[in-house]
Amino acid sequence: MRYQPILIAVAVATGGVLPAFLTGGLAVQIRDELGFGAGALGLAVALFFGSSALASVVSGLFVERVGSHPGMRVAAVGSAASLLAVAVFAGSWWGLVVCLVFGGFANAVSQLATNLSVAHEVPPGRQGLAFGIKQSAIPAATLLAGLAVPGIALTLGWRWAFVGAAALVLFVAGLVPREEDDVRPREQVTNGGRAPTTPLVVLALGIGLGSTAATPLGAFVVESAVASGIEVGAAGLLLAFGSAVGITVRVVLGHLVDSMQGGRLRLVSGMLGLGVVAFVLLATGTDVFVVAGTVLGYGAGWGWPGIFNFAIVKSNPGAPAAATGITQTGASLGAAIGPLVFGLVVERASYGAAWTTAGTLALLAALTIAVGRNLLVRERPAKSETG
């Protein structure tokens, strides 16, 4: 298997979510300068993912039309522009929001273009591993954000972290090949069919609930850890370490699901169940449990997106970008609602209450995805191995 398409897809997808998670990782410094609270931070990140949700279905159709590589270039340039705009123009909360909303549109294109790239350029027997690597983009973004706290934000200032990130994403845009490389079998291209709409909608709801629960890990772990008594630099390193665990889990499980004949969505439900335990640990507010909860949260509570997307693509090989465009709408809406709700609960109650809420949502997500999986198997028995 050639790894170049996967690595480029990871880089583009990481750039897509970087504006949101760099904002979360540098929240302490950004909030001090711009003067807003935890609820406003959650709303800013929510609007980023909200714009992604609004653009997801249209972006899926756009990417199917123009191809994965042009879509990836458009997305990378848009993300770089968003990052640079934050560094230069974000003089207030409103300025930050405008820059992040623009980045959200670019993120929608990046996620679907990279899904299409993996579906077309990676042989079917290696797509689980490929999606596991590709879905490491979010923990990769939070890892970079965590390292940026002691490495750049506490020395040069948080704006320079955004400038460096913009330069990095522009470099990635230049790495995207000009030509398309489709390795799908001919029968897969012409006879892929359409996945049933009802199961996709239910699964979109499930991944939306899961994203609502998990996204605050990237946006609020640093601040939550600081509130529990952990020093700011160490909290940034905790975010980076948790992210590294998340990357490892996504890649390893991606490799394993390639050999599975079924049960992938059941595995997703089980991981969300473990995520409930992680959020309970975070809710204690005790520094040792916060560390353990962060690691388990990234590994299990947020380690499932690659498996989920792989199952969706397997169920609709004829139009993977359009199919994942439907479920990505749920994922992006959940990612939008999660930080907003979390921030509001923190301001009105506590971090403990907010993490408890996340655990409840993770449990609902596990149950909903199990229901969606059953619907998928029942409506497409010939494709039952996808679940």
Residue 198, token pair as written in the block: 């009802």
Residue 266: HSE in the Cβ half-sphere, 13 Å Cα cutoff: 10
pTM, rounded to two decimals: 0.75
Give the C-alpha separation, 273 to 359, whole Å: 9
Kindly indicate the confidence band of residue 3, based on its pLDDT and cuts at 50, 70 and 90. Answer: low
CB 218 within 8 A of CB 138: yes
Query: What is the average pLDDT across 368-374?
Result: 92
Q: What is the pLDDT of residue 186?
A: 41
Kindly indicate the confidence band of residue 118, based on its pLDDT and cuts at 50, 70 and 90. Answer: confident
Question: What pLDDT digit, counting tens, does each position of 314-365 carry?
Answer: 777 666 666 777 887 888 889 888 888 898 898 899 999 999 999 999 999 9
Q: Where are the domains of the chain?
A: 4-173+192-386
Question: What pLDDT digit, counting tens, does each position of 275-295 carry?
Answer: 999 999 999 999 999 999 999
Query: Measured in whole angstroms, how far is the alpha carbon of residue 53 from the centre of its chain?
Result: 12
DSSP 8-state assignment for residue 384: G
Query: What is the average pLDDT across 220-234?
Result: 89
Give the C-alpha separation, 136 to 344, whole Å: 28
- Comparing 7-16, 78-87, 175-184, 247-256, the range with the smallest average pLDDT is 175-184
Domain 4-173+192-386 has CATH 1.20.1250.20: yes
pLDDT of 193 over the 70 cut: no
Cα end-to-end distance, the chain, whole Å: 24
Give the C-alpha separation, 313 to 332, whole Å: 18
